[in-house]
Amino acid sequence: MQPPLLFAFPVSRATTDPKLPPFYPTFSLPLPLGFTNSLTLDLLCFCRSNRSVVFVSIGLLLQVIYSSAPSDKNYTRPYVVNIGALFTFNSTIGRVAKVAIDAAIDDVNNDSGVLRGTKLVVQVQDTSCNGFIGIAEALQFMERDIVAIIGPQSSVLAHVISHVANELKVPLLAFAATDPTLSSLEYPYFVRTTQSDLFQMAAIAELVDYYQWRQAIAIFIDDDYGRNGIDSLNDKLAERQCTISYKAAMRPGATKSDITGLLAKVASMESRIIVLHANPDSGVMVFSVAKFLGMMSQGYVWIATDWLSSFLDSTPYAEPSITDTMQGVLALRQHTPNSKRKSALLSKWKSFRLNSYALYAYDAVWTIAYALDSFFSSGGNVSFSNDPNLHDADGGNLHLEAMSVFNGGQFLLDQIHNVDFVGVTGPIHFDSQGYLIHPAYDILNIIGTGLRTVGYWSNYSGLSVSSPELLYMKPPNRSAANEELHTVIWPGETATKPRGWVFPNNGKELRIGVPNRVSYREFISEAPGSDVVKGYCVDVFVAAISLLPYPVLYKFIPFGDGRDNPNYTDLVAKVVSGELDAAIGDIAIVTNRTRIVDFTQPYIESGLVVLAPVKRLNSNAWAFLQPFTVRMWCITGLFLLVVGSVIWILEHRINDEFRGPPKKQLITIFWFSFSTLFFSHKENTVSTLGRAVLIIWLFVVLIIQSSYTANLTSLLTMQQLTSPIKGLDSLISSDEPIGFQVGSFTEYYLVEDLGISRSRLKAFNTPEEYAMALELGPNNGGVAAVVDERPYIKLFLSTHCKFAIVGSEFTKSGWGFVSISLMLFLATPP
């Protein structure tokens, strides 16, 4: 391929070449194969020295050139392809990006196997760290015939320029715009050649979860880059049941005074986990102010996004005054695997200290080079056309018609998405969503004046102390047990993991609902004429709170009118609605409540029991017969006769003690059987079968004797009570009325679970009403029994002796405290 021949010609649209007089518009024409550079220069000299001849003989020159040139029907590649680059020259990323882009251009043009004769030329534009100026310069920059743009560096500018790129069909290869929303379908011509902040925020969320923190504060620049990044962090934290407790936004270009006010408010918050998502200028200032305010001391955790590692990697010798403000900070850096190509590039340009963004800028140039090579090999052609939409929209002096549409833009975009090579940052290949494959980050700890790697994060294997390249060769394992990081030195020069929270200076009081009972006030109630809430449940709560390693402000809010016991289901509903933060008291843990709120561990066992009136059984002379029923006595006597008869049958033929007159033998049978009850029989058994029967019978006698002794002892030493109600089953089978306590879940359980008719139930408020109804009985307007929770019944029986619990406990539950989230208190600290 030969250099193009430049002609001076009065065309409507062209660029000005400094080698020609400024008043001559120019156009380029590729020379046919076979022409030499010397011929091109001769023609140019001829054109320059004979201006008047140029316009007359242009057709003749073209005819001479093309008629003399050898033909090549496969020619499709131009000699020069122009690309652009948009970034801020005087910035942490821009300074090294310019070096990397120039180095990549030289390496591409010196590699004959990439573009194969086509020269890649980059035209750069400074966006000046100013949104408006950057947009204006970018629009002016788009007037040039370029096929792709490396950049822009800013996510804010990328949102605007992407719309222009969509219209002009010019792909944008962004090496530093990390805003996750730029990957949306709204920007098809935006190609991110670096990692999205979506993955960086996933890494931070996994860090927070790894150290078992549950809340974090986000400090960020209030622009597209900052807001959208923090929104992604919030989503990733929510996936792990964590949250951002406070979002502290800084305006772009915030002053030290602005940051001081912002951090003073952050310091008053309860969370001590702070994520800083900013740019180097504002980020360094935040650390300086935080150091001054004492926020870099023990107990704080600072996690900085990759802006900090980029700043430190590109700073030759950071001043101790700067690094001193960052001691113990965790920072992320885009992971780029070690390779010979990377080492050679860094060694060649070591004086410029290239950071990870510079490496991605370098690979962005190679990406467009490989894509252009595929573009030309597939028959692509560099041509531009006017956009009628721009002509119609240009109603003023904006000269929008100066921008033209790249006709091969969509085809080139497809080739970019299909590139597959290994660059200095690792494999360059895009997945179906447009992300680079294998997103990974280094987890860094700032100690002294350097950075120490404490681990890695990758989307493939999570947190690990092994490099992602090693883990890619193994099956994926994202289990929490497999995650590991090296020891971190936290702010305050401690290796002990901070707990991540403190009691906030401006913390609000917890609104704790308490039932204002009118009965069984020993458990919980409001003292009459005061705001004091007391009782056993309050004592348990206060004791539990006192065990926490931090203070908790709370305020008891009585629930109930003071005339009737409150409905506990309504109390739980107020916690669900947010009117109360929590509720304590004698609140039963039942299924329908656990579906909507969280309970603490039960602090007392509880369950429903039946309370019924009982009568005392008086002892008499025949009390010794009471341990067994009549049926039991009859069976025992029958077995005595049967065993005696069997022994006689087996023994009387061979044993003289069982012989004699019939009367004597009959007496022997009865005496032998009765004496075995006391193991005092004198007759010996001779036969083997007789002895076997006797052994079995003596074992049965032992059991009968033990049971009798135990029952008789109980009868003689304990008061015996009886009741017509034997338990829950007899209560359900009867049609007699049943009492329950107002506000308890008992009514719901009896009706819905046991199927008892609501008409049989009577509600009572006080223990006195219990006693009166039970004494009256079902025939006199009272009840046959009362069903209530065991703690209430035990307290009732401590003062009433005419009643007792009959049957067994038929539900198993307990009392607990209620909150909409156990993170509120007791279970997990703020």
Domain ranges of the chain: 80-194+354-429, 197-338+436-482, 510-605, 623-717, 721-818
For residue 140, the model assigns a pLDDT of 76
Q: Do 551 and 528 meet the contact criterion of CB atoms below 8 Å apart? A: no
The whole-number pLDDT of residue 619 equals: 59
pLDDT on residue 570: 92
Q: Do domains 80-194+354-429 and 510-605 have the same CATH topology?
A: no
- The yes/no answer on whether domain 197-338+436-482 falls in CATH 3.40.50.620 is no
Q: What is the pLDDT of residue 143?
A: 80
**Domain 510-605 is found in CATH 3.40.190.10:** yes
Contact 74, 1 (CB under 8 A): no
Determine the Cα–Cα distance for residues 818 and 33; give it in Å rounded to an integer: 86
pLDDT at site 618: 59
Contact 431, 420 (CB under 8 A): no
CATH entry 3.40.50.2300 includes domain 80-194+354-429: yes
721-818: CATH class: alpha beta
Task: Report pLDDT for 716.
Answer: 66
* CA atoms of 622 and 650, how far apart (whole Å): 37
Contact 413, 367 (CB under 8 A): no
pLDDT attached to residue 549: 66
Using the structure block, give the residue that is written with the tokens 């008499």. Answer: 620
Scanning 13-72, the segments in alpha helix (DSSP H) are 37-49, 51-68
CA angle 232, 234, 240 (to 5 degrees): 110
31 contact partners, CB below 8 Å, separation of at least 6: 2, 3, 4, 5, 39, 40, 65, 69
Look at strands 26-30 and 4-8 and give their pairing: antiparallel
Contact 619, 716 (CB under 8 A): yes
Low-confidence ranges of the chain (pLDDT < 50): 1-74, 823-830
